[in-house]
Amino acid sequence: MTTPAADAHVRLDTHPRHTSAVTATFTGPQREPARAALTAHGFEALDDDTLVLARIDHEEPYWAGKAAQALTADGFTTEITPRLREAMEEEWTWANYPMPWCTRAEIREVSNEAQKIHDDIRHGRLIIHAHADDNGTTVAVGTYRDTGKSVYLHGENHLRQIADTFDSPAQALLAFERLHGDTMRPGPAPTTDTERAAAEARISLDTPATEPQPPAQEPEIVPAYAADAGDHETLLHDFLNENADWEKYRTWDDNTTIANHESLTLRALLDHDAEARDTKWTFAAYESPVSDRMWHMTVAAATPAPILNTLLTVIAASDAWETAVGSPVIEKTVTEATRPLTDAGWTHTVDGRWLRWQTAQDDAGVQFDAFAAQTPRSTLSTWTIWAGPSINHPAWAIHASAYTPASLLAHLAEELAHGTGTRRSSPPQTAQRTSRITATPPPAVPPTAPTAGPRR
C-alpha cells in the first residue's frame, strides 16, 4: 500500500538565472502535501508547479539538501539534479569574513539568523521604524508585531544581527536617536543588491527584461546653472593633478576622499556615494591648522559642471579664499558678492530677513539670510545658490556660511549670470526624498593614515 506522499514526485534543481537559488517542481496528484512540506523549509510558490528557495546568505543548496532529506523521510519521491548535488557538495567560504574565528557551521548559523530577520521584515512580522549609517554599516531599529519587543539591528544581508533589545518602541527610538541622530532616517533602509536578486529569483525563472535605451540626444547649449553635472570623480582627479599643493587620502571605508591644502587651512571632502541633492562636496577653511573653522560650503551632487569648475578654479587660487577672521558681513560684502547678478538684470527682492536675486524665469537664484549672517555659529546657511523649480525644491543647491569670501561668491555669481554649459538630458527632476545630513568637517589637522578595516 502506497502512502499519499508517494504519489508526489519532487525535483530539486538550480535556478536557471540566479546563482545559488534552488527550484522545486513536483508532479503527481498529491501536490498540496508536497507544497506544504517545501514551504516549511523556506520554499515559496512561483506558480502552480514550481517553488523557489532564494536566500540572502547564498546557502540555498545546503538548505535544499536538508529539505530533500525531510521529504524523503516523509515518503516523497525526491530527485536532485547533478548540478544541484554538485553545488551541495561544494566547499566555500565568505571572503574577508569579519568573524574569522567562526567555523563553517558557525558562519552558517550566523547567516541563518540574519535570514530569519530578513524574512520577518519582508513578511511584516518585524516593523522597521528607522535606519541609519554607522560609519559605513547600516543599523536599524524595529518592533516585532507578535511580542511587542523592539530590537536594534546591526549590519545587512548575511551579517545582520540583533545587537540589543528594548521593552518598547519609544525606548528603542530614543536610544537609536541618541546614537545615530545625525544619519537617522525613517523606515527601513533601501534594499541591497543581494535582497533584490533574491526577490527577483522568487518571481521569475528569467532575468528581468532590459529596458530599451532612448536614442542619444545631441547636447544643447544652456545656461551654466542648467547644465549637466558632469563627472565629479574626474573633476577631483584633474584638480589634484593640476594643483601640487594639495594632497589626498581615502577613508577606510572608501566612501570619502579628503583633500588638504599644504597649509592645512583648507580642506575639501568628496562623498563618492552622494547622489542628486545629497551633499557631494564639503569645503572648509581655517585660520590655522588647529583653529576652529572660519567658513564652510556644501555642494550638491547634481551641481552643474561649469559651476563646480568655477568653484574649484577659485579654490585653487589661495588669494581668492583667504579672508579676515571674524570679519562681519556688511552691505559692501553683499554688494560685491551679488554685483554680477545685478548687472545681468536678475530680479532683486527683499522678504524680511531674506534678500533674493532670481532669474526672470525663476529657475535659479541666490539667497542671503541676514539673520544667519549675524549669528555665524548658527547651523543656518547665510548664502544659498540654487537652480530648479524653487529654492525649497531645487535640482541642486550650494550652501555657504557667513564668512565665505565675497570674491569666491562673486565668481560663482558671474558663472550663474553669464556662464553656459551643455545638457544632454532633460533638466534634473527634484525627487521627493529626504537628503542625507552630512557631518561637520573635522578639524584642519589631518588624521593619521587610516588603517584597513574589514570589507564585505
Residue 402 reports pLDDT greater than 80: yes
- Residue 206: predicted pLDDT: 73
Mean pLDDT calculated for residue range 183-198 = 90
pLDDT classification of 110: cutoffs 50, 70, 90: very high
Cell of 356: 533674493
pLDDT of residue 408: 92
- Strand order of the sheet with strand 126-134? 161-166, 150-154, 137-144, 126-134, 185-186
Q: What pLDDT digit, counting tens, does each position of 113-137 carry?
A: 999 999 999 999 999 999 999 988 9
Nearest to 55 by CA among 19, 102, 28: 19
Q: Is pLDDT above 60 for 405?
A: yes
Q: Which of 92-101, 198-207, 296-305 has the highest mean pLDDT?
A: 296-305
pLDDT score, position 33: 86
Say whether pLDDT at 214 is over 70. no
* Residue 376 grid coordinates: 555665524
What pLDDT is stored for residue 452 in this prediction? 32
Q: Which of 244-248, 323-327, 378-382 has the highest average model confidence (pLDDT)?
A: 244-248
Check the CA dihedral 230-235-236-237 and report its sign.
Answer: positive
Confidence of residue 215 (pLDDT cuts 50, 70, 90): low
In the predicted model, what is the mean pLDDT of the chain? 83
Q: Tens of pLDDT along 411-451?
A: 999 999 999 999 885 544 433 333 333 333 434 443 333 33
The shares of helix, strand and coil residues in the chain, as percent rounded to the nearest 5, are: 30, 25, 45
Q: pLDDT-based confidence at 99, cuts 50/70/90?
A: confident
Q: Which residues of 156-195 are buried (b: 16+ CB within 10 A; e: fewer)?
A: bbbbbebeeebeebeebbeebeeebeebbbeebbeeeebb
Distance CA 118, CA 196 (A): 12
Please determine, for residue 235, whether its predicted confidence score (pLDDT) is greater than 80: yes
Supply the pLDDT for residue 440. 37
For residue range 293-347, what is the model confidence (pLDDT) as tens digits?
Answer: 888 999 999 999 999 999 999 998 865 555 444 455 678 889 999 999 999 999 9
pLDDT for residue 257: 85
pLDDT, position 254:
58
Q: Decide: 12 and 60 in contact? Cβ < 8 Å.
A: no
- Taking only the tens place, the pLDDT of each residue in 46-73 is 888 899 999 998 899 999 999 999 999 9
- Percent of the chain predicted with pLDDT > 90: 48
Instruction: Categorize the per-residue pLDDT at 276 as very low, low, confident or very high, splitting at 50, 70 and 90.
Output: confident
Range with lowest mean pLDDT among 9-18, 298-307, 373-382, 385-394: 373-382
Asked whether residue 4 carries a pLDDT value surpassing 60, the answer given is: no
Does the structure show a pLDDT above 90 at 287? no
Cell of 46: 512561483
Task: Give the amino acid at 420.
Answer: T
Q: What is the mean pLDDT of residues 181-191?
A: 90
* Band of residue 454 on the pLDDT scale cut at 50, 70, 90: very low
CA–chain centroid gap for 52, Å, is: 30
**Cβ atoms of residues 266 and 443 within 8 Å:** no
Ordered domains of the chain (ranges, CATH): 9-89 (3.30.70), 104-203 (no CATH), 220-423 (no CATH)
Burial tier of 447 (Cβ tally within 10 Å: 0-12, 13-18, 19+): exposed
Residue 359 has pLDDT above 90, yes or no: yes
Residue 240 in this model has a pLDDT that exceeds 70: yes
